[in-house]
Homo-oligomer: A and B are copies of this chain.
Amino acid sequence: MKILVIGAAGMVGRKLVSALLEAGQVGGQAIDTLHLADVIAPEAPQAGVPVKTSAVDLSDPDVSVSLIAQRPDLIFHLAAIVSGEAEANFEKGYRINLDGTRHLLEAIRNAAGEGYRPRLVFTSSIAVFGEPLPAVIPDTQEHTPLTSYGTQKAICELLLADYSRRGFVDGVGIRLPTIAVRPGKPNKAASGFFSGIIREPLAGQEAVLPVAEAVRHWFASPRAAVGFLLHAAAMDTALLGNQRNLTMPGLAATVGEQIAALERVAGPEATALIRREPDAVIAKIVAGWPQAFEATRAKSLGFTAEGSFDEIIRVHIEDELSH
């Protein structure tokens, strides 16, 4: 099977590529070739199969045509301008996140006459939801995004469902929880502290907590995110009917519960490194975010995530700190 990963240079993309190469197969079908694309050319991994890397600009329709030229059987589309940038640069966000995805769908549709109908796994986001929201969000909740990024993801979900219903593509859209613990450097995303208050103390460094401990949010580890992608790639999509987009399972935890988990896993010397520095701007942004989801449908379809924040921390230690 030929696999194309768009957005392969990002954190989840790199972990996905490693997992694919380690497994050597998807759903029992051996991987024959891997094509890795991103806005900067992804690093070519050590691999026993041919790997091609490409630097691409998805806003150019010809790029999608050339990405589809080899007729990949399985496409992971993870590429996106992130939330903050899509908010700061309205045109760029729509050009990449909406038009880029539509060009990809159109390139696939235009090859459909040849009987081509690849599996397309698309990463959406819980940013499609915005207040007012219930404390636990059902699978049937309306999408009322409060960012241009969330709007673009919600639109792409609708396109994915319609192109799938019409038989042009075999799409699965997965709404990722907030990914924690993100490895790497602290960043300026409003959500950054959710990872920072775990990652920095585990590395013996101070972390800033800008919100109250009562703040509740929805998490899964990077390892769980890769698991979602692989499951979406191999699942029986006949079970989805026309509802091609799914809220992924995750773990609802308050910041206080995160800190208690950190103390259980790494002791009070770790939690002592968390410095409370309330930030009204961040608190206001985070107050509009989803807190918890039912995710009943995805769980019944076999998607799984961590059951405790302790487990999320242990996954981080195993995957990032144990080498």
Contacts and interface: CB of A to CB of B under 8 A. Distances in A.
A242 interface: yes
Given A155-B158, A158-B155, A144 B242 contact: yes
A146 interface: yes
Nearest to A90: B166
A158 B145 contact: yes
A54 interface: no
A159 B158 CA distance: 13
Given A151-B159, A151-B162, A159-B155, A146 B90 contact: no
A309 to B, nearest CB: 28
A165 interface: yes
A158 B143 CA distance: 9
B142 A162 contact: no
A33 interface: no
Interface in A126-146: 130, 139-146
Copies in the complex: 2
A243 interface: yes
Given A140-B141, A141-B140, A143-B142, A148 B130 contact: no
A154 interface: yes
A166 B141 contact: no
B162 A158 contact: no
A84 to B, nearest CB: 15
A161 interface: yes
Contacts of A143: 142-143, 158
Nearest to A154: B158
A268 to B, nearest CB: 42
Nearest to A142: B140
Contacts of A140: 141-142
Contacts of A162: 145, 148, 151
Contacts of A144: 161, 242-243
A152 to B, nearest CB: 8
Interface in A47-86: none
Interface of A: 90, 130, 139-146, 148, 151, 154-155, 158-159, 161-162, 165-166, 242-243
28 contacts: A90-B166, A130-B242, A140-B141, A140-B142, A141-B142, A142-B142, A142-B143, A143-B143, A143-B158, A144-B161, A144-B242, A144-B243, A145-B158, A145-B161, A145-B162, A146-B165, A146-B242, A148-B162, A148-B166, A151-B158, A151-B159, A151-B161, A151-B162, A154-B158, A155-B155, A155-B158, A155-B159, A158-B158
Given A140-B142, A144-B243, A158-B158, 7 more contacts: A140-B141, A142-B143, A145-B158, A146-B165, A151-B162, A155-B158, A155-B159
